[in-house]
Structure 1
């Protein structure tokens, strides 16, 4: 059984906006969400990096999460629920969840959510409490809050999605792999609706210190807005970001039967492993190339149909070049006609939530026929021969396609290919 899968709802809370409309507006305008971390632990631990992309609107302030709910969720779970609720509302269902919505069967509504790290704040706060105050002072909800699957569980329980609630943990490819899982669930007939996405809230002194020790982070502390600079010859590492994003995916017949607005089709996905190095990508980009080819073949998309790529483009010296090689290999002479956006230049790197956010932006690019910005590109690396979008640009009319790339530590490669409707 194989069914066409479409996108009917979008949700996001990001460093450049507390919802999808604001995030999209700022992505077109080239607004940076990278700021100085105003926390005492930066100086307390003498961290060499003091910048990050924090969410523009706190979860409770978004109006989609109560204070009581927030106390029972790790920050990553809070962001997941905020994004999922916006996506559900945006999809236009008649009820607040799958149980109340007349058009939904809760048993055929599923969740596929990704995270790279999970409840790191809960875990490390609990360790501090144990050491300083003893086990009697630990929160009873510590384990449920720190579990990586707690985000998917929270979304499932809140939206009464009883089909399944599955978690993908594949570093920075996590939420794009969640889209792959969602696509399989709907195509196979196991679900009619899937809430798919990802979230991360790991701007913590331990993770920043650890990434900094790897020399993976930008140390451009004196100029936060200019620190994330994919493809620029002066790039010196990625910038940590936090946030969540979600997409409502449905079988086409289910969406049309309820008269839903359709943003785009999730036409195909590709997933592979480099089996090369725990942190560095394969310099020849063999896995990334194969994954791109697989996603296009899975969606029945020719390379010439692709007009836009939301690139993984983290702004690391070793990461940006292999991805550009993969794009050149897949698109060949057509590469110059593909508008490439590197939106981490504005949002920073959301780790396990990055793929979901960039999928949302890719869907909006097709829907509005507009490619978002890449900022801070002043001196393009001569090794990178791509048409990078530095000012928001119109995309062609007609039947077009776009892809969103995600690559993660461990050699995880994931690509989602979307088609206009």
Structure 2
């Protein structure tokens, strides 16, 4: 069993176009959710989202690349470039053959789908661009990352709704730990903030029209976001030998299935994943200082997750800090676990716990320390990151500080 560490991180999301900007927003408790700027927004009932602002694809990609890269792929490549630059790792020879890419996404190229359905059904066109299929396919981002960085080993895409990124990162972790791979680029991305994507989520009636307020008694639903988070996971001795700066160590991972309901979460399923991650990491509940919650701002999730954490940690639950950064950047669906892992790294490396903003009133059914409204300085050695998806698919990661 090999040790696995994180040596690079990159992101673009509603809070910032890189990791330092995102960390600054976490520390300030800044909200990146605002009015949507998309086509036909006036036809939507929900008009807010965690949208990436100030982004022009032409600043980063040429015309030929834009014809191949959906917005979710663009976000992935930008985050991957940042992670690679920070890590300093280069893939060639045997290392390239033993390294790969595992990324999570739920919708894939939804921007491309939305635009081309319009072209065919609304504008009456009978032809679309010949690259539409390779542009919209869920594995597009994975494939383009592998090509850009010469990653010739195990590469694939995971689509498990809101747990996609955590499942992807868990798979990357297990591949390195088992010796199957030496290093992996992993994380996830999503860009669903198009008319069709928002309209579909409206149909579920779980969306807030004003703000995301996880764990607050006044919460009224989730808010969609978009963006990407990508990390370099690397075998510890390999990273150490080349003098890499280590951000954190990944020490455990667990998955579970509720096997009960397509949309309603299960306390038992979430609990099994949380307990399983601690068992896999060989840690006691008392060692965990912080949990990045799934924390969507829906009554079903918040109450179920709080109950699952309380059961998993027993008397230690009162000493835990647990926050939801979705209150700031929105719910990135398949990419959400990747951006939220940044809050875990910040907690371990910088000793700063990102807050749950928008918290107005305690909910007795969510009676944990959710770090309300303001970031907190705290020395934590072990953290968990929760992801619980529609379909009852759960994935929890455990990370440890590296001295």
**How far is the alpha carbon of 1:209 from its aligned partner?**
1.4
Q: Which residue of 2 aligns with 1:275?
A: 259
Q: Alignment length, in residue pairs? A: 400
Query: Partners in 2 of 1:219 and 1:264 — Cα distance?
Result: 37
Tell me the secondary structure at the aligned position of residue 58 of structure 1: coil
**How far is the alpha carbon of 1:71 from its aligned partner?**
2.9
2:378 paired residue among 383, 388, 395: 395
For structure 2, the residue ranges without an aligned partner over 5 or more in a row are: none
**How far is the alpha carbon of 1:57 from its aligned partner?**
4.1
Q: For each residue in 1:379-406, what CA deviation from the matched residue of structure 2 results, as whole angstroms up to 9, or x when unmatched?
A: 0211111011122112226xx2000000
Q: Which residue of 1 aligns with 2:218?
A: 234
Answer whether contact 1:13 1:57 (CA < 8 A) is retained: no
Q: Which residue of 2 aligns with 1:310?
A: 292
**How far is the alpha carbon of 1:211 from its aligned partner?**
1.2
**How far is the alpha carbon of 1:40 from its aligned partner?**
4.4
Pairing of 1:92-131 with structure 2 (within 5 A)? 92-93=88-89, 95=90, 98-99=91-92, 105-131=95-121
Q: Which residue of 2 aligns with 1:224?
A: none
Tell me the secondary structure at the aligned position of residue 383 of structure 1: helix
Q: For each residue in 1:225-249, what CA deviation from the matched residue of structure 2 results, as whole angstroms up to 9, or x when unmatched?
A: xx01001111111001000001110
Taking a change above 3 Å as real, the CA distance of residues 57 and 176 of structure 1, as seen in their structure-2 partners, is farther
Runs of 4+ in 1 over 6 A off after TM superposition: none
**How far is the alpha carbon of 1:133 from its aligned partner?**
4.4
Answer whether contact 2:5 2:235 (CA < 8 A) is retained: yes
Q: Which residue of 1 aligns with 2:147?
A: 157
TM-score (norm 1): 0.92
**How far is the alpha carbon of 1:60 from its aligned partner?**
2.9
Query: Partners in 2 of 1:146 and 1:40 — Cα distance?
Result: 19
Q: Which residue of 1 aligns with 2:207?
A: 217
Query: Partners in 2 of 1:59 and 1:380 — Cα distance?
Result: 41
**How far is the alpha carbon of 1:38 from its aligned partner?**
2.8
Answer whether contact 1:59 1:82 (CA < 8 A) is retained: no
Answer whether contact 1:114 1:353 (CA < 8 A) is retained: yes
Q: Which residue of 1 aligns with 2:195?
A: 205
**How far is the alpha carbon of 1:64 from its aligned partner?**
5.0
Task: State the superposition RMSD in angstroms.
Answer: 1.5
Tell me the secondary structure at the aligned position of residue 198 of structure 1: strand
Tell me the secondary structure at the aligned position of residue 239 of structure 2: helix
Query: Partners in 2 of 1:117 and 1:274 — Cα distance?
Result: 22
Answer whether contact 1:59 1:78 (CA < 8 A) is retained: no
Tell me the secondary structure at the aligned position of residue 105 of structure 1: helix
Tell me the secondary structure at the aligned position of residue 40 of structure 2: helix
Tell me the secondary structure at the aligned position of residue 404 of structure 1: strand
**How far is the alpha carbon of 1:188 from its aligned partner?**
1.7
